[in-house]
Structure 1
């Protein structure tokens, strides 16, 4: 009876051993599957982060291009504003010089002709200066013979065109004239178009027309 009992219990021991052997293996397989699933999840998360990271350099490059373009636009606008300001300043300086020259040109006194002519030549340049210098001797004699005097006044003036070194100035000038033939003063009104050029930092009359 004892032997029969032992034989009956042996299969149970074998089954327990089998369960002990297969149990951990199945658990390892399950753990592997779970690890694989976890790896898949982690991989997907990394992929999402990688996509976001790729956008960073692209965005930085786009911003850099936009900033560079903005800087270029601001630089161009700044240069244009400065150039416009420089031209306006040049026009004002040329206009002031033209007004002073118009007074010098129309104000004469037969008793001080040398000084008057020197002032006219000093404020002129180019062909106009040459022409005036060549005719000055004859003009002086004519003024002396007629005991002529003149006093000029600029009534109004305007800038017709201007650049940094050249300008056209329109002037309205009244000249009060006396001479031996007409001792009573009379007023001659003239419209003068004067071309001014900047020479060695000075605005000089390069051409004087009576349009």
Structure 2
């Protein structure tokens, strides 16, 4: 009887050790996955925020002498209905911008991430844009607050909706 009790005690200790090791692996895996998802979410938010800021800067930056290049950057960063509407508006906008010799640059841009997931995001951007034209040779500082709905297209964030907000 003394030989079976130590054997059972040893087997029981091994079983408890295996269960504890298995529980530790499960806890470590769960915590590791949660940390990985949190980091991935933070990276996605940072990418969307940077893209939204740059896309808003591209939208406000306009120089009559570089109209096609400036508006081309906006078209490149756009998708969906917004892209179509913007492209359609360019035909009427170009002669106005060129005849007025409009120049709009961005002096300051501040962006805030509102919401989103891996494939879409909402970003708010505030901009200060000194603007000149044929009738205003001294820059007039214009301020804009823009809400951008972004969509992940391939590896890039693109504007699907752009609204001026107050």
Q: TM-score range by the shorter chain?
A: 0.7 to 0.9
Contact 1:160–1:169 (Cα < 8 Å) also in 2: yes
Identify the residue that residue 73 of structure 1 maps to in structure 2.
27
- Could you tell me which residue of structure 2 aligns to residue 120 of structure 1? 74
Q: Match of 2:65?
A: 111
| Root mean square deviation, CA, Å | 1.8
Aligned to 2:15: 61
One of 87, 96, 113 as aligned partner of 2:50: 96
Which whole-Å CA distance do the structure 1 matches of 2:8 and 2:52 have between them? 66
User: CA separation in 2, counterparts of 1:154 and 1:193?
Assistant: 16
Q: Does residue 126 of structure 2 align to residue 172 of structure 1?
A: yes
- Name the one with the larger strand percent: 2
After TM superposition, the score normalised by the length of structure 1 is: 0.71
Q: CA deviation at 1:84?
A: 1.0
Q: Is contact 2:126–2:146 with CA below 8 Å preserved after alignment?
A: yes
Rounded Cα–Cα distance in structure 2 between residues aligned with 1:126 and 1:66: 54
Residue 164 of structure 1 aligns to a residue in which SS?
coil
TM-score using structure 2 length: 0.88
- The 8 Å contact of residues 154 and 171 in structure 1, kept in 2 or not, is answered as no
The aligned runs of 1:125-140 (5 Å cut-off) are: 125-140=79-94
Judge conservation of contact 2:57–2:109 (CA < 8 Å) in 1. Answer: no
- Which structure's CA Rg is the greater one? 1
Matches of 1:65 and 1:154 in 2, distance apart?
58
Tell me if 1:208 matches 2:153: no
**Structure 2 unaligned runs (5+)?**
none
Deviation at 1:74, TM superposition (A): 1.0
Give structure 1 stretches of 5+ with no counterpart.
1-46
Cross-structure match for 1:52:
6
- What is the Cα deviation at residue 64 of structure 1? 1.7
